[in-house]
Amino acid sequence: MIKFGTDGWRGLIARDFTFENLSIVALATARYINKNLNDKRPVVVIGYDTRFLSRQFAEEVAMIMAWQGIIVHLTRDISSTPQISFHTKSKSATLGVVITASHNPAVYSGYKIKGNFGGPATPEQIDEIETYVRRIESRVPQFKHKSLEHYIEEKQIRIFDAKESYVRGLKKKIDFNAIKKANHKVLYDPMHGAGIDFMKNLIDNFDEIHGDYNPSFGEIDHPEPIAECLYELIDRMKQGGYDIAFATDGDADRIGAVDHLGNFVDSHKIFMIFLKYLYENKGRKGKVVKTVSLTSMVDAYCEVNEIELVQTPVGFKHIAKEMINGKVLIGGEESGGIGMSLHIPERDGHFNAMFLLEIMAVRNMSLKELCDELDEEFGQHRYHRRDIRVTEKEKKEIIAACKKRPNEIGRFKVESMDTTDGFKFFFEGGGWLLIRASGTEPLFRFYAEFDSMSKVNELLDEGIALR
């Protein structure tokens, strides 16, 4: 069954993610678009990442959309997800589509849908498109679209450059003069993803690794900007010569960072650095939105400063919905996706990398100093996540054990539990453990935060063993 998860529909290439299934999803999206026109001309923006057959998949979607009477803006070459979100909004398109499986391994492809507001389609939009998918699956139609060349000649499909105006937009929102003056030396890792050959559009003083086109991602297991996947970037930083390193995931909407000493800086700290700068330096106001998996430092900061805090399930689509429905200062999730009021309601790895460089320049502080400042203000918050493949029997046992609301997990006394998304246990001393099934891959995720890494790892061990 074709099923949308936390962030779009994903499947194994040639097994689940086939041209036939893709055609069904594209037709369902087209029917949704044509039903919700509101007397406007139907327009869709389509882009694609570096994965195997991504361009061909995108062209197939474009032809089906054109066949259904929709004007298609198809990117000339590889594009990031934030670029498609940006153009969906700037071109007043009905929807955007990105062929990407984000951070999943190379054997996956995927289909992300973007709303006309410039962010992930809302859960309600996805539900309606899935309804069309179910109808089409029950009686698959004949696909009688014409060739790509025909639709291009008829200007039904219009090829465009996704980078140029997107870069201009970024340069209006970020203090590039401060960045240029500080002249920090940057090491960048696009992880063979959609960020390849892009950083040159933003800064001059940088070097790049894993910047060649490689649909298999080379030695990288999966293009996710977390410490386990960034060993080469971290090793290079430990050798010295750079002020900061950035990594973006397969579709360049998530960010990871490494300080000048080679310490990986997780998105919990990046989010807090952004929040403090927006509120204290830029004087910006608004709600703060976080997924259930994000650091408790956010809760503490919002409570002290009397900022409204909204918590959502995992998935940026929930954050985007809050951003378009009300004044939100910043919203983010554990996996490196952060959006803010300065930009579109979307995660954007390149925007966030430049914003972090701006903060370092304006505050005249290194990334390590910014992180040390968080420890001084909130106490030590250490975090880790483990992704575990479990059997169906083990999965049921773990869920059953969580539902019993244990009073203790290992030696840690449980104070309360949150079931917003999965099972989140809070412990004496301020730590927490979240156990939930992934919405993008067939595995369980175990997240933990405490005041030392030894406690974090002990808590993760106990959580994984929970039965």
Choose the final residue of a domain: 248, 263, 278.
Answer: 263
Q: How high is the pLDDT of residue 38? A: 64
Q: Answer whether residue 245 shows pLDDT above 90.
A: yes
Largest CA distance in the chain: 69
List, in sequence order, the alpha helices (H) in 139-252: 148-153, 164-173, 176-182, 231-238
Per-residue pLDDT of 161-199, as tens digits, reads 999 999 999 999 999 999 999 999 999 999 999 999 999
Same domain, residue pair 391 and 286: no
**Range with the lowest mean pLDDT among 68-77, 119-128, 207-216, 384-393?**
384-393
Domain total of the chain:
4
Same domain? For 248 and 282 the reply is no
HEC letters along 87-105: HHHHCCCCEEEEECCCCCC
pLDDT of 271 strictly over 80: yes
Q: How far apart (Å, rounded) are the C-alpha atoms in residues 265 and 304? A: 24
Of 293, 317, 297, residue with least CA distance to 226: 293
CATH number at residue 440: 3.30.310.50
**Mean pLDDT confidence for 243-249:** 98
Task: Tell me the pLDDT tens digit for each residue of 350-394.
Answer: 999 999 999 999 999 999 999 999 999 999 999 999 999 888 888
Beta-carbon neighbour count of residue 349 at 10 Å? 29
Q: What is the pLDDT of residues 301-330, one digit of tens each?
A: 999 999 999 999 998 989 999 999 889 999
Tell whether 201 and 82 lie within a shared domain: no
Q: Which residue has the higher pLDDT, 466 or 456?
A: 456
Q: Looking at residues 329-355, what average pLDDT do you find?
A: 95
Question: pTM score > 0.85 for this model?
Answer: yes
**What is the sign, positive or negative, of the torsion defined by CA atoms of 184, 336, 101, 228?**
positive
**Same-domain check for residues 229 and 213:** yes
Q: Which domain holds residue 456?
A: 382-464
- Residue 337 neighbours by CB distance under 10 Å: 27
Q: What is the mean pLDDT of residues 229-257?
A: 97
